[in-house]
């Protein structure tokens, strides 16, 4: 079973922010912003490549609720989902990073470009 499935089953503890029948949101262990939350579907889906439009529509509403719950919906935030090798996906269970709580930089995305053009 993957690490996020274990988290859903409460086999591994997590700092839960919001939960419903389909989704779970919890604090990232290694935050990269003052607010760094992960939102995941409770069913195992490898990545964004495999998610249905129907579940994605519900997931969008869940993410909106999470942003309201932690009061970053007005100040602004960023959602990111990493997909596969080049996307830098480490955990192979679909998750959306929700980042906020400070003005975020628009990053340096690739080691192939030290100037950060791409």
Beta carbons of 71 and 101 less than 8 angstroms apart: no
> Applying CB under 6 A, does 12 fall inside the site for ligand AMP?
yes
- Residue 107: in which H helix or E strand, if any? none
Cα separations (Å) of 55 from 13, 51, 59?
25, 7, 6
> Applying CB under 6 A, does 76 fall inside the site for ligand AMP?
no
- The least distance separating Zn ion from the CB of residue 5, rounded to whole angstroms, comes to 3
Q: Give the span between the Cα atoms of 38 and 56, in whole angstroms.
A: 15
* Given the residues 27, 36, 93, 95, the one annotated as active site: 95
95 is catalytic: yes
- The least distance separating ligand AMP from the CB of residue 108, rounded to whole angstroms, comes to 16
Nearer to ligand AMP, 13 or 54 (CB): 13
Residues 32-61 that bind ligand AMP (CB under 6 A): 38
Helix (H, G, I), strand (E, B) or coil at 69: helix
């Amino acid at each position: 079973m993957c690490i996020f499935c274990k988290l859903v089953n409460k086999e591994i503890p997590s700092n839960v922010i919001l939960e419903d029948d389909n989704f779970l949101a919890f604090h990232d262990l290694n935050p990269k912003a003052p607010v760094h939350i992960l939102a995941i579907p409770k069913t195992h889906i490898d990545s964004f490549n495999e998610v249905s439009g129907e579940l994605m529509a519900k997931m969008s509403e869940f993410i909106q609720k999470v942003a309201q719950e932690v009061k970053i919906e007005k100040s602004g935030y960023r959602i990111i989902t990493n997909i596969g090798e080049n996307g830098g996906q480490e955990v192979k269970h679909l998750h959306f990073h929700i980042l906020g709580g400070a003005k975020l930089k628009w990053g340096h995305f690739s080691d192939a470009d030290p100037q950060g053009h791409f």
